[in-house]
A and B are shown apart, each in its own frame.
Chain A
Amino acid sequence: MADVVQVAPADDPVRPLFSPAGELTAEARATLGLSPDALRDLYHKMVWIRRTDQEALNLQRQGELGLWGPYQGQEAIHVGTVAALRETDWIFPSYREFGMGMCRGIDPAEMLKLFRGVSHGPWDPRTYHFAPLVIPVASQVPHGVGFAMGSRFKHSDDVVLSTFGDGATSKGDWHEAMNFAGVFQAPVIFLCQNNHWAISVPLAKQTAGSIAERAQGYGFPGIRIDGNDVLGIFAAIRTAAERARRGGGPYLIEAMTYRMGPHTTSDDPTRYRTNVELERWSAKDPIPRFRQWLEGQGLLDEAALAAINREVEAKVETMRNRLRATTAPAPGEAIFGRVYQHPSDSFLEEREEFESSLESN
């Protein structure tokens, strides 16, 4: 019995859109079919999520948040990805995809409850098709694959976007999930946000090989692209999603980007990396890049820029005020409220005892 080994899947509609260096070709860029308003909206969203990121950092420094994990530098991925998907497609994020959640319509002041320590998950994933932020690295990847398998079982054309960082590719769960996806032909797009750093460990110490090319070993295509080009992200995700919708199976996109800030507010990146590197990546900052492109296309003038900034400032101020007015649920509800749908008597007794111990004197 002869085993058939499929080395390079023939069906790869993404690769033709990109140069060998992972840049979206001029031709592909010209045929995206996005209206001027849609293009300006991508820019608007990138500015909004960056400003929100900065404000969250301020709020942490002011004692309003316990911790914050900035995503500065990765906005093109956050915005481009959500724009390329249908609302009914599910996103299974890691922990840094705050901007994606905002683009999916979740109120940032609500999401910040996570970092304010009042909730482990302040939104219902079923409302936004956006799974909870997950902290144990790579452990969310099999969840997305399971959902995608379910989509196939139900003959639905909803696809799944499963995202993770470069560090996640070292974990067993990542491999297990990639393998399941290949075996079950699950409609899932794996999006590796390769931001070059897993806290203090650089890419070179994380893995000795290419991440994108590993896809072939699981029986589906993969590509490494420029992760700081919002249109490149948009094109790759949309095309891979269409392929998955048609029953083409999984796709792995490795988006090269850079975490410009610290891992979290508890981190000090000056201990492990140089300013030279940061400056090099600042030159590829996705926001000024896209602004220049839009200006070059005649799609963005001073007045439009000012209007965007005004609108973003107003949204950020609203978020700040709403966050500071956050009320915390009562301790009994916060601790015991969502553990079991059918709790046992002894569980309820423990809650009751706890709550009565809190009665004020």
Chain B
Amino acid sequence: MEPVTMAKAINLSLRDALANDDSVLIFGEDVGTLGGVFRITDGLQKTFGPERVFDTPLAESAIIGICIGLVLRGFKPVPEIQFDGFIYPAFDQIVSHVAKYRNRTGVSMPITIRVPFGGHIGAVEHHSESPEAYFAHTAGLKVVAPATPGDAYALLQSAIADPDPVIFFEPKARYYLKEEIDTAREVPIGRARIAREGTGVTVVAYGPTVSIALDAAKAAEKENISLEIIDLRSLSPLDMPTILESLRKTHRAIVVHEAPVFGGFGGEIAARIADDGFDLLEAPIERIGGMDAPYPPARYEKLYLPDVDRILEAADVALAYG
């Protein structure tokens, strides 16, 4: 197969899900006629009709709220929230109902909520946020974020097939990353991958920061520093065995995400390492992320976001511990 972009890979994954399972419905703001503001759902309404792929009024809480009833009626909703910063009106429905319905009734909620997230696209306010920690913190949800087209395809298949609700974060800055994909490959939820092997420092990343970590590893190699890059793929559940296995080699860890560090998901990873891998550490765990300030105007975003230099600096600190 020709290399495809992540946007196309997700589109193919949705197309296959619609074709393979009549109960799958796709809806959200502008996903039908327009094909989504990122064109992720391009052509789907045309193929599958307006009863399976449809535009909704502009109302995130209802977009998620109706999912509950649709599941009870026998559907598998795959709603789209147009941008990360627009998910907050739906927070109550996600946290109070989507996450807890099975706990309340025994009825599972196979809902996959797709959310383009993260920055790097020079957008206006509310279009570059990383709200993943709110949802990873919520029991009853699964939270995933692919970093490559192939993983995006496969992970979305796993998410839609999963009987439990999944928040599917798409790194919008990587929508146009291209690779050949193998649609037969399975990526189960909860399994990280080693994106690059190394021996000096473990760098844990997910979604948009995986590419940056890989760039950092290339730069580090020139300085004879070996970084091992872990692409988490799944935040909840979290694949601790893969992280600990890497630490047995490196004894040093850096966590990278775009969200602010304070209260961010990196804190959970650091705490788990301290709990389960205390004796493995030779250096403090470094966390790199956005600042504890709202996402800045676009011209400052490069200063705000993790970059190669910040990862290399953290690696220097970790390695200074001998």
A binds B: yes
- Which A residues lie at the B interface, using CB under 8 A? 90, 92, 120-121, 123-126, 131-132, 134, 136, 139, 141-151, 153-154, 160, 172-173, 176-177, 179-180, 183, 338-342, 344-347
Distance in angstroms between the alpha carbons of A139 and B89 in the assembled complex? 12
Closest-by-CB residue of A relative to B77 is A146
Chain B interface residues toward A at CB < 8 A: 25, 51, 56-57, 59, 61-62, 64-70, 72-75, 89, 92-93, 96-97, 100-108, 139-140, 142, 162-164, 190, 236-238, 240
Most buried by B among A134, A146, A180: A146
Q: Which residues of A contact B62 (CB under 8 A)?
A: 142, 145, 173, 176-177, 179-180
With A125-B107, A339-B103: A146-B70 Cβ-Cβ less than 8 Å: yes
A139 — which chain B residues lie within 8 A by C-beta?
65, 92-93, 96-97
Chain A nearest Cβ from B57, distance in angstroms:
5
User: Is the beta-carbon distance between A153 and B51 smaller than 8 angstroms?
Assistant: yes
Determine the chain B residues whose CB is within 8 A of the CB of A345 once the complex forms. 190, 237
24 A–B contacts, CB within 8 A, in A order: A120-B100, A120-B104, A136-B92, A141-B65, A142-B61, A142-B64, A143-B72, A145-B65, A146-B67, A146-B69, A147-B73, A148-B69, A149-B70, A150-B72, A150-B74, A173-B65, A179-B57, A179-B62, A180-B57, A180-B59, A180-B62, A338-B106, A339-B139, A339-B140
Determine whether the beta carbon of B72 is less than 8 Å from that of A147.
yes
CB pair A126 B56 closer than 8 Å: no
Determine how close the nearest CB of chain A comes to the CB of B124; give it in whole angstroms: 23
Residues in chain A near residue B93, CB distance under 8 A:
139, 142, 173
Given contacts A139-B97, A146-B68, A149-B66, whether A173 and B61 have CB atoms under 8 Å apart is yes
Which A residues are CB-close (under 8 A) to B75? 150, 153
Q: How far is the CA of A179 from the CA of B69 in the complex (A)?
A: 16
| B51–chain A nearest beta-carbon distance, Å | 5
B66 proximity list for chain A (CB < 8 A): 142-143, 145-146, 149, 177, 180
- The residue of chain A having its C-beta at the shortest distance from the C-beta of B52 within the complex is A153
CB contacts (< 8 Å) of A143 on chain B: these are: 65-66, 68-69, 72, 97
CA distance A346 to B164 in the complex (A): 16
Q: How far is the CB of A82 from chain B (nearest CB, A)?
A: 18
Check if B65 sits within 8 Å of A344, measured CB to CB. Answer: no
Which of B59, B64, B70 lies in contact with A150, CB distance below 8 A? B70
Assess whether B237 is in contact with A131, with CB atoms less than 8 Å apart: no
Contacts of B96 in A (CB 8 A): 136, 139
Report the Cα distance A174→B135, complex, angstroms.
24
Whole-angstrom distance between the alpha carbons of A143 and B107 in the complex? 14
- Residue with the highest number of chain B CB atoms closer than 10 Å, among A124, A142, A145, A179: A142
The chain A residue sitting closest to B272, CB to CB, is A346
User: Which residues of chain A are near B102, meaning CB under 8 Å?
Assistant: 338-341
Quote the shortest CB–CB distance from B315 to chain A (angstroms).
28
CB-contact partner of A124 in B105, B163, B240, under 8 A: B105
Q: Indicate if the CB atoms of B139 and A177 lie closer than 8 Å.
A: no
- Tell me which residues across on chain A come within 8 A of B108, comparing CB atoms: 341
Residue of B nearest to A344 (CB): B237
How far, in angstroms, from A177 to B103 measured CA to CA in the complex? 24
Q: Please state if B237 and A347 are interface contacts (CB–CB under 8 Å).
A: yes
Known contacts A136-B96, A340-B140; is-contact A125 B69 (Cβ 8 Å): no
Bound CA span A215–B103, Å? 34
Inter-chain contacts of B51 with A (CB < 8 A): 153
Contacts of A347 in B (CB 8 A): 237
Please indicate the chain B residues that have their CB under 8 angstroms from the CB of A120 in the complex.
100, 103-104
Residues of B within 8 A of A342 (CB): 162-164
